[in-house]
Structure 1
Amino acid sequence: MNVTAVIPARGGSKGIPGKNTAEVGGVPLVARAVRACLGAAQVTRVAVSTDDAAIARAAREAGAEVVDRPAELGSDRASSESALLHALDALEERHAAPVDVLVFVQCTSPFITSEEVDEAVLAIVRDGADSAFTAVPFHGFLWTADPDGGPGHRAHGVNHDSAVRLRRQDRTPEYLESGAVYAMRAEGFRRSGHRFFGRTQLVPTAPERAIELDEPGDLDRARALAPLLDPPQTSANPSPRPPQYPGKEL
């Protein structure tokens, strides 16, 4: 079975300029994602979709192949799905072979593990799901407020009755999408044009690893946590596995 991991990584980040090549634990974010995918036993191919030369260079050095993303898919308004569909077409043409399972990995989640990638794929190939995603157990009480612009916003409970304060163990379990790993049947993804379709299965992951980098403070926090969360070989900058499918770049 052809299981292809695609890591979309555009160059024009606004929240954190140069985000995808920023280092956490001494390793560029895009390289961290590549290494997690290369270490996954279920993944047969790893590619980075990018419009940026520095990201492409870091991806190749980490052992991935690169799909050159066209400019119209590199803006902050372009959806992740559009970049995935383009990469899927490019890779199937390049290797003259259909992709069975597409894995979407975001390098803005710096503490992805190979095990998480494998579990997302196994949700498809072993458990029969059509799509899957990593998620963390969530026990918080969510609120929303009236957007009236006044000084005293009226609050409303979202996932709870504010008059009934249930204990955590008495509440229905909830999960928060981690934003790190998604897996899907490639054929179903083409039909739906979206990462969630058919029977969707969640893959529980450790809350302490579920960090998404959107603002400069997020990057500072990830760097502070890297010595605690990284296995020794990640920060030690081991020699990357050579590319499995060097091919010509599109």
Structure 2
Amino acid sequence: MEAEIQPREQPAPVIDPTLQALALIPARGGSKGIPGKNLQPVGGVPLVCRTIAAALAANSVGRAVVSTDDPAIADASSAAGAEVVTRPEALAGDAASSESALLHALEQLAQDGPLPPLFVFLQCTSPFTTGAQIDAVVRQLQTSSANTAMAVIPWHGFLWSRDPSGWGRGVNHDASLPRQRRQDLEPCYLETGAIYALRTAPFLAARNRFVPPLLPVEVDGPAPEIDTPLDLAVCRQLAGLLDPDPAGGAA
């Protein structure tokens, strides 16, 4: 269960509409499933550094900021070209939400100057994020009335859940009718978890990344997430096929 984010009385931050989007990358040190996960290498490059490289390759991003409680992550992030916000221990445990890290980082950055009207929340667990994908999500947010845009990929399969009795129930199809062709199913999308573009002021008010209206943005390319050691092993194998150069940094 995620720790509740307690609202605090803060002066309203100054928003400068002329500033480029800010990339915020939460990267705490603790991880039970994969120890030191955010520094684990894929294609020879630590996950946090891959995400920083993708952020800095995006034309829409003016600066990349990593929020971390871990000195080793802070050092790696600085060397990769990111600014670092030191996250307090209370916001770095297993129960702490990503939103709590984002809110803390924005509050700290607002003390040093105006915030941009948009920011991008990027997750290190998506090692193949590219600058072009970030730009696509930001562009869709900028040209819409949405408050949140998120990266998604199409899902073409038949989804099932269980009813209260435990029996199977179709989610995106009606199993009592003749079997549909996959291409005739209502479009469904899988949230990649890699990229979220948000309008800064509405996010600060709602304290939640999903501020309606919400806009799913289809992105090209594979979007595996690393949650388990097997995911990490698979992504390391994929790096040889998907990385644009032997050094690994996603561009």
Residue 216, structure 1, aligned to residue 229, structure 2: yes
User: Structure 1 stretches (4+) deviating beyond 4 angstroms?
Assistant: none
Deviations 1:68-87 (A, max 9, x none): 00011001111111110000
C-alpha change, 1:196 and 1:90, in structure 2 (3 Å) is: same
Counterpart-to-counterpart distance in 1, 2:163 and 2:202? 38
Deviation at 1:105, TM superposition (A): 0.1
Deviations 1:36-91 (A, max 9, x none): 00000000110000001111111111100000000110011111111100001111
Q: Where does the alignment leave 5 or more consecutive residues of structure 2 unmatched?
A: 1-18
Q: Secondary structure at 1:219's aligned position in 2?
A: helix
Q: Secondary structure at 1:44's aligned position in 2?
A: strand
Deviation at 1:159, TM superposition (A): 2.2
| Matched residue type, 2:127 | P
| Matched residue type, 1:3 | A
Counterpart-to-counterpart distance in 2, 1:146 and 1:138? 22
Select which of 154, 158, 162 maps to 2:167: 154
Identical counterparts, % of pairs: 50
Deviation at 1:98, TM superposition (A): 2.2
Select which of 92, 97, 122 maps to 1:74: 92
Deviations 1:121-146 (A, max 9, x none): 11222334211000000012122236
Counterpart-to-counterpart distance in 2, 1:146 and 1:170? 24
Counterparts in 2 of 1:1-250, with a 5 A limit?
Answer: 1-94=19-112, 96-145=113-162, 154-164=167-177, 165-206=179-220, 209-232=222-245, 234-235=247-248
Deviation at 1:3, TM superposition (A): 1.1
Q: Where does the alignment leave 5 or more consecutive residues of structure 1 unmatched?
A: 239-250
Q: TM-score, normalised by structure 2?
A: 0.87
C-alpha change, 1:112 and 1:237, in structure 2 (3 Å) is: closer
Q: TM-score, normalised by structure 1?
A: 0.87
C-alpha change, 1:56 and 1:136, in structure 2 (3 Å) is: same
| Structure with more of its chain in helix, by fraction | 1
Counterpart-to-counterpart distance in 2, 1:17 and 1:159? 37
* Equivalenced residues, count: 232
Counterpart-to-counterpart distance in 2, 1:103 and 1:142? 30
C-alpha change, 1:233 and 1:43, in structure 2 (3 Å) is: farther
Conserved in 2, the CA contact under 8 Å of 1:3 and 1:43? yes
